[in-house]
Amino acid sequence: MTMDRTLEPELMDDPEQALVYARADFEQENQGFVDRFREYFPEFALGHILDLGCGPGDIPVRFARALPSCRVTAVDASEPMIRLAEETVREAGLSTRITFRCERFQDLTGVSIVDAAISNSLLHHVPNPLQFWHKLRLAVKPGSPVLVMDLLRPESPEEAQAIVDRYASGAPDILRRDFYNSLLAAFTEDEIGAQLARMNLTRLLIDVVDDRHWVVSGIIH
């Protein structure tokens, strides 16, 4: 029996915490997220992409580089994260193609309907996940691709700790703690399936891609 979900803070608003996260090595996960989008949606090459929960900006930069005819609106409610993300984009020379919004996705207004939506590692921060799927559906034009990835909740605290030890053994203590808490706050495959059913999004596909991540992908109709 899988353990119950344990909520963690919705925002990463401690500057030190945000900086440690930004400096962590997520090369494999982040580039894999971009590569997966290009594999799933090979014909998508032009348009406006919305990134919900952009963090320190690495994923928007990778998308802008991989899809040079696209622009990205990247949203995160953490001010320290947005400051780091803006610096990352300036250093990458992509400020004309990536725009940041510092606000909760639930309160997001004034963004035009987009051509694609992505989100990596936001959902486990959200107390009510149905709000996320509702906003995602409203944000994109019919026929638009979406790609969402997040952590998969283990069956026990002991398994969560084993995952932390396996993948973050040499990481700073603050990052290991956050990783552990995030695993406990994540959703199971069955819970994601139930959320999609509640929101009439059952055409989207769920795939458990490794021992700690699930991916939802497809076209919003």
pTM metric for this prediction: 0.96
Q: Inform me whether the pLDDT recorded for 10 exceeds 80.
A: no
| 8 within a domain of the structure (yes/no) | no
- The pLDDT score that the predictor gives to residue 110 is 81
pLDDT for position 13 = 80
pLDDT at 201: 97
- In this prediction, residues 122-147 reach a mean pLDDT of 96
* 157 C-beta neighbours (distance < 10 Å), count: 13
Asked if residue 2 belongs to a domain, the reply is no
- Residue 10 falls inside a structural domain: no
200 within some domain: yes
164-218: pLDDT as tens digits: 999 999 999 999 999 999 999 999 999 999 999 999 999 999 999 999 999 999 9
Question: Does the residue 119 lie in any domain?
Answer: yes
Q: What is the pLDDT of residue 80?
A: 95
User: 74 is written with which tokens?
Assistant: 């990247």
Does the structure show a pLDDT above 80 at 1? Answer: no
pLDDT value at residue 12: 77
Is the separation of the CB atoms in 88 and 107 below 8 Å?
no
Total domains present in the chain: 1
Q: What pLDDT is attached to residue 196?
A: 98
CATH number of the domain residue 170 falls in: 3.40.50.150
Q: What percent of the chain has pLDDT over 90?
A: 88
Domain hosting residue 115, numbered range:
15-220
pLDDT at residue 38, rounded to an integer: 98
Q: Establish if 1 belongs to a structural domain.
A: no
* Average of per-residue pLDDT across 43-62: 97
Question: What's the pLDDT score for residue 2?
Answer: 75
* Amino acid 115: pLDDT: 97
Q: In sequence order, which residues have a C-beta less than 8 Å from that of residue 68 and are 6 or more positions away? A: none
Q: Is residue 9 part of a domain?
A: no
Sheet bearing 47-52, strands edge to edge: 98-102, 70-76, 47-52, 116-120, 144-151, 213-220, 205-208
Average pLDDT of the chain? 95
Predicted local distance difference test score (pLDDT) of residue 181: 96
DSSP for the chain, written as a single string: -PPPP----S----HHHHHHHHHS--HHHHHHHHHHHHHH-TT--SEEEEEES-TTSHHHHHHHHHSTTEEEEEEES-HHHHHHHHHHHHHHT-TTTEEEEES-GGG--SPPPBSEEEEES-GGG-S-HHHHHHHHHHHB-TTEEEEEEEEB--SSHHHHHHHHHHH-TTS-HHHHHHHHHHHHHSB-HHHHHHHHHHTT-TTSEEEE-SSSEEEEEEEE-
Residue 123: per-residue pLDDT: 97
Rounded mean pLDDT of 8-22?
A: 82
79 has a pLDDT exceeding 90: yes
Has residue 7 been placed in a domain?
A: no
Assess whether pLDDT exceeds 80 at residue 34. yes
Q: Tokens 């995030």 — which residue? A: 182
Taking only the tens place, the pLDDT of each residue in 165-179 is 999 999 999 999 999
d(CA 179, CA 181): 6
The rounded distance, in Å, linking the Cα atoms of 55 and 74 is 9
Q: How confident is the model at residue 109 (pLDDT cuts 50, 70, 90)?
A: confident
